[in-house]
Amino acid sequence: MTATTVNAPDRAKVRNIGISAHIDSGKTTLTERILFYTGMINRIHDVRGKDGVGAKMDSMELERERGITIQSAATSCEWEGHAINIIDTPGHVDFTIEVERALRSLDGAVLVLCAVGGVQSQSITVDRQMRRYSVPCVAFVNKCDRAGANPLDVCEQLREALGHNSVMIQHPLGLEADHRGSIDLVTRTCYSFSGDNGETIEEIEIPADLKDIVEEQRTKLVEALADIDDAIAERFLDGKEITAEEIGPVLRAATIARKITPVCLGSAYKNKGVQLLLNAVLAYLPSPLDRDYIALDPDDESIEINLVCDIEEPLVMLAFKLEDGQYGQLTYCRVYRGTLNKGDFIHNTVNRKKVKAGRIVQMHSDEMSDIDVAYAGDIVALFGVDCSSGDTFTDGRQPVTMTSMHVPEAVVTLAITPKKNTNQANFSKALNRFTKEDPTFKVHFDEESGETIIGGMGELHLEVYVERMKREYQVEVIPGAPQVAYREAITVRAEYNYTHKKQTGGSGQYAKIGGWIEPMTDEELDGDATFLFEPKIVGGSVPKEYINSVGKGFELATPEGLLIGFPVVGVKVVLNDGKSHAVDSSDRAFQSAGRFAFRDVYMRAEPVVMEPIMKVEVEGPEQFSGAILGSINKRRGMISGNESQGSDVKVEAEVPLKEMFGYSNDLRSSTQGKASFTMEFAKYAPVPASVQAELIKEAEEKKKEKK
């Protein structure tokens, strides 16, 4: 492949965006249209692959078969003289890590919402991820051609359900079967879309019956801006006309600051409104110059370093996604600062290794083109670079590390065994590759049972990896029944006073410790921490050099609780007393004291078994409302919402994960295959006493079997 040299474009004319939404909201369909209108593909293909090809961004065979996005895919295109790097992300919650790492490395996003379904469960998750990384967004209300479409209502849902200061910047020209275009509220221009692929855009007169509501909606937009900008507020209060030239810069600044969310609309499938969305991306979403990036000093992560998007500054680049391609490991990177030339040596600030950037490519889904140089603000991929997801690369002039991304814990586990012993090597290769690519895919070997256990975000997540082993590595496995990733937690404070004393000839072990354990508070649990150690030693009763050893000992005891053998979470350990021996005390002795003290005090803290609770959303025809509610109630579900949407009903509930295994078949049979559901992890909660007794009994029986 011939390498092409890319001149560094004006960084202000670069957009790095993600397209994110609830499953089946039309993200991949929208991306397909963007690629068509920007000239990257010359024919539109259906997401479901009915034409035998499938959408460009769904390059994996499994994606085309199932009609869902499993892996995020990167591409780039040009629109109105701007370079746009796009990452199309999955909507299914089982693949949420793909959304997480995409938003971690992007500057802006398009939040796609269904004009009928509005704000749905995964919309809330995606919004939470955008907030986590302060990613500004433009909303696109899709499927305005569907019966029951109401983009203005969706705009209100954005405000009420997600807390966005959402404002319509377009008004629909017809809805449902009559949807044919939109009216730009900023410029008061009416656009009609026609042609086989919506490529013909005609400016027409605003219909007389829409003029009043257009002015009403435009006034709402101006009022929202007046709350933010004093100059617009003054002119608005004086009754003066606010021009498009005045609105544009203020709306852009407010969007970038996440003070306003502009709402566009259209129908990607019917080829309407996509070009106007692209215009909004250029007008209101940030360039790399508009975002603040924070890096950390690798030697002292309390020191923050502000990064400026400057191609002349020292290189800083984040590896945010790994893929195993036909030419070896493909590492997707976001260049935050500096310039990377083909052949440059780069330094990994995590593992301290120096590697050569031998090949730089620009991705277009599963296709690629070689480039000679990448600049600050670019998203590229490298070959032959051994690293892990989340590693930071520099040119060695200023070692920094980018902040880490959030990785949710696995909630489902599965025991798997290769059908044939001859497949063991490929089995190991597949597991190594998948764990490297996907931080939420966990693997461990159970020494007692001799089984390989895989963990993930849901049944579909693990099912896809089992299928990929078969297709990509020719390894068929025997899967066990899915298992819930339970947790254990204490419920009351309990005091401990433990002496560890051991004499085996020569110097012995001695450590005495006292204090208490208690449940962590909600404030202490805010974040990823599940264990907290708080020393309150006064007067040196435990020598300073041994204090942390006590905490480590307690923490080493938490991976296996005494009720059913699952990890203990949410524990705070306080150390306020102790005693040491001049000869026999050591780090090891105090660590052992902590470990054994935890086992000694644990049952006095009244532990309980915690189970993952899923937020479940079921949608189906109104006629099956009773069947849907009944299917949730019999699975220990708590109904939290039940609303009608035209001829359909949407039921929201919280259901224990254990009860959701096999739910898809149950729902399909009780609704004639006309209802669908989505679920995502919501929280951990104590199991009922009867369920806990059963789990403890099962755990005891397993122990006996192993003996």
How much is the pLDDT for 1? 35
Helix (H) or strand (E) holding 47: none
Q: Which amino acid is at 181?
A: G
How much is the pLDDT for 676? 78
pLDDT digits (tens, 9 = 90+) for 468-510: 899 888 999 988 878 888 999 999 999 999 999 987 666 788 9
How much is the pLDDT for 512? 94
Cβ atoms of 486 and 609 closer than 8 Å: yes
- pLDDT of residue 4 exceeding 60, the answer is no
How much is the pLDDT for 117? 86
Cβ atoms of 372 and 357 closer than 8 Å: no
Q: What tokens appear for 238 in the block?
A: 């004086």
Share of residues in the chain with pLDDT > 90 (%): 52
Cβ atoms of 325 and 368 closer than 8 Å: no
pLDDT digits (tens, 9 = 90+) for 21-32: 877 788 888 988
- pLDDT of residue 71 exceeding 70, the answer is no
What is the overall mean pLDDT for the chain? 87
How much is the pLDDT for 53? 45
Cα–Cα distance measured from residue 209 to residue 172, given in angstroms and rounded to the nearest whole number: 12
* Phi, then psi, of 116 in degrees rounded to 5: -100, -50
How much is the pLDDT for 46? 62
pLDDT digits (tens, 9 = 90+) for 100-136: 877 888 899 999 999 998 888 778 878 888 888 899 9
**Across residues 541-559, what is the average pLDDT?**
93
- pLDDT of residue 336 exceeding 90, the answer is yes
* Phi, then psi, of 589 in degrees rounded to 5: -65, -45
pTM as predicted: 0.73
- pLDDT of residue 66 exceeding 60, the answer is no
- For 628, the 3-state DSSP assignment is helix
How much is the pLDDT for 350? 86
Cβ atoms of 243 and 123 closer than 8 Å: no
Query: For the residues of 475-529, what is the DSSP string, one character each?
Result: --EEE---EE--EEE--S-EEEEEEEEE-SSSS-EEEEEEEEEEEPPHHHHSSS-
**Across residues 591-614, what is the average pLDDT?**
95
Cβ atoms of 298 and 349 closer than 8 Å: yes
Q: Which amino acid is at 94?
A: D
How much is the pLDDT for 72? 64
Cβ atoms of 205 and 278 closer than 8 Å: no
Number of DSSP helices (H) and strands (E) in the chain, helices first? 17, 38
pLDDT band for position 19 (50/70/90)?
confident
Q: Which amino acid is at 34?
A: I
pLDDT digits (tens, 9 = 90+) for 427-437: 999 998 888 88
Q: What tokens appear for 87 in the block?
A: 């990452």
- pLDDT of residue 189 exceeding 50, the answer is yes
pLDDT band for position 56 (50/70/90)?
very low
* Bridge partner list, 18: 87, 109
Closest CA to 517 of 498, 500, 541: 498
Cβ atoms of 189 and 204 closer than 8 Å: no
pLDDT band for position 325 (50/70/90)?
low
Cα–Cα distance measured from residue 578 to residue 590, given in angstroms and rounded to the nearest whole number: 10
Assign 3-class secondary structure to 184-208: ECCCCEEEEEECCCCCEEEEECCCH
The neighbour count for residue 525, using CB atoms within 10 Å, is: 15
Q: Which amino acid is at 284?
A: Y
How much is the pLDDT for 168? 97
